[in-house]
Structure 1
Amino acid sequence: MSTGTLDVEALGAQLGRAWSERTPIPPLSESVNLSDIDDAYRVQQAFTRLRLAAGDRMVGRKIGLTSKAVQQQLGVDQPDFGNLWASRYFQGEAGQIEVPADLFLQPRVEGELAFLIGAPLRGPGVTVADVLAATEAVAYSLEIVDSRIENWRIKLADTVADNASFGGFCHGDWQPELLTRDLSTLNLTLSKNGQPAGTGSGAACLGNPALAVAWLVNTLARFDVSLEPGDLVMSGAWMPVVPAAQGDVFVLEGEGGSGALTLGFV
């Protein structure tokens, strides 16, 4: 469907109702033939305006579909981005975090790295070195991905419109010392209910999670948007996503058990 006939405000409102009422909708790629990615981002922007009008606050950006394994899981072939919302920023003490399972429709969990931006970043032309120089600290993190699209039956345009399938996020302690490491060599281990659920390295995230952030900044430049001090950025997954339900407990650990983060669905 062409931009001229696509009612992005109505589609944003449809996704907003699905978010609030926790009722999934058919894929927009089928119901209105949404396929153009620029149109999909316009729908995302319409949803963003509704969240802001409802009093929510943007705390940063998320990068999605950075892992080849996740791309293959979901049948897409490139990254995307969405917004991180304060209403879904979960925090706790000593890396112990609980979230209400009924807040989500069909949640899945993925392990990744969060970046705390300390200096402005504006594309195009931003490099990994630029990202590292502008980053104050990083932290091991868990993203709850969730889709307002029935049965995760998504194409790229569907997940872009749906705020890159954002559900919520949390992170462990900020570790500025990790910035001295080659982030592509960092390793993460995820367990679910005491059983191994996945492993991944930074190299699985577009080759380097800092490269994923550079991709984000350079892509945001198309929209005349930059990253600013205090922004949080979720790098995107290092491993396949894992389904979650009430009663599940996930534990993410860095190398040697560092930065342990526990997330329980209650």
Structure 2
Amino acid sequence: MTDNPVTTDAVAKAADRLLRAQAGGAPCPPVRDLIGRDDVRAAYAVQQLLTRARLAAGERVVGRKIGLTSPAVQAQLAVDQPDFGVLFDTMRYEDGAAVPPGAVFQPRAEAEIAFVLGADLAEGELSVEQVGAAVDHAVAAIEICGSRIAGWDISFGDTVADNASGGAFVLGRERLALADFAPRDAVMTLEVDGEQVSTGTGAACLGDPLLAVRWLARQARALGDPLRAGQVVLSGALGPMVPVAPGSTVRATVAPLGAVSFTLGEERR
């Protein structure tokens, strides 16, 4: 946390910079000059302004995404906690979809386990057991991360402000209840155009993806916006994130949840 409080004006200017980047179709400079590198409160205040703008434009919240679940990435950004962003209906694509090339800035893909909630996570201790009981089912997922910050030149403050670098997500078709598998034991492989580019396991996500969801549930409730039944939770990467070029097909297998894929559309000339 920075020593000097970030002003409301600085938060508004940071949000405006990111909104202008989105509207203009081109990345912008980092916003840390306005809100600092690691001011958690200021960064989420920017994110909340962007969320309000999207809601005002008619988008709907359908869930949350968790980021920075890897110890290596946390060390890279000098932080000791994950972050989270908001999932909107406009970010969701079906398995096998063609994702428009302009839908995500500077796209990078990572494979995850997505949990769909069957109950609210608003009351009680929010233990791992309570979180698991609230999950209706899990599916394999690919998060298409994107940064409106030019060159992915991000600090913790930049990525949180920019909706935790959330761009889009693709959900698999096969559903499993938690009674049928252990998320921490899931095994992931990620391919781009048939070439394996990333591998990992459920244990790479904070030791267990359900621990990541517990962290999120507690953070969301503390901010007055708890997780609700029907929402999707992207629990965090199971392996390294990889860049995706236009025209490429990305396929993730998360055993035993099955496979999920998308193709990034070509730029028009």
Does TM-score exceed 0.5, indicating one fold? yes
CA deviations over 1:151-173 (Å, ceiling 9, x no partner): 11111111111100000001102
Aligned mates of 1:259, 1:178 — CA distance in 2: 15
Instruction: For residue 26 of structure 1, give the secondary structure of its aligned residue in structure 2.
Output: coil
Equivalents in 2 of 1:101, 1:107: separation in Å?
9
**Cα distance in 1 for residues equivalent to 2:124 and 2:43:** 21
CA pair 124-237 structure 1, distance change in 2 beyond 3 A: farther
Q: How does 1:7-26 map to 2 (within 5 A)?
A: 7-26=10-29
The answer for the alignment partner of 2:239 in structure 1 is 239
Q: Relative to 1, partners in 2 of residues 1:179 and 1:138: Cα closer, same or farther, differing over 3 Å? A: farther
Pair 1:172–1:73, CA change in 2 (3 A)? farther
How many correspondences in the alignment? 262
The alignment partner of 1:263 has SS state of: strand
Q: Go from structure 1 to structure 2 and tell me whether the alpha carbon gap of 1:27 and 1:224 turns closer, same or farther (over 3 Å shift).
A: same
Code of the aligned partner of 2:85: G
2:258 is paired with a residue whose SS is coil
Structure holding more helix per residue: 1
Change (3 A) 1:12 1:124: farther
* Counterpart pick for 2:45 among 42, 45, 54: 42
- Segments of 5+ residues of structure 1 without an aligned counterpart are none
Provide the alpha-carbon RMSD of the alignment: 1.9
Counterpart contact for 1:124–1:218, Cα < 8 Å? no
- Aligned to 2:27, the other structure's residue is in SS state coil
TM-score, normalised to structure 1's length?
0.92
Q: Is the 8 A contact 2:142 2:261 kept in 1?
A: no
Identity of aligned pairs, percent? Answer: 42
1:69-218 matches, within 5 Å, as 69-72=72-75, 76-91=79-94, 95-122=95-122, 125-218=125-218
Task: Letter of the 2:253 partner, please give it.
Answer: E
TM-score by length of 2: 0.91
- Please list the CA deviations of residues 202-254 of structure 1 after superposition, one character each: whole Å capped at 9, or x if unmatched: 10000111110000011112211211111111001111100011011111112
Counterpart CA distance in 2 for 1:190 and 1:23 is: 28
Q: CA offset at residue 78 of structure 1?
A: 2.4
Structure 2 counterpart of 1:147, one-letter code: S
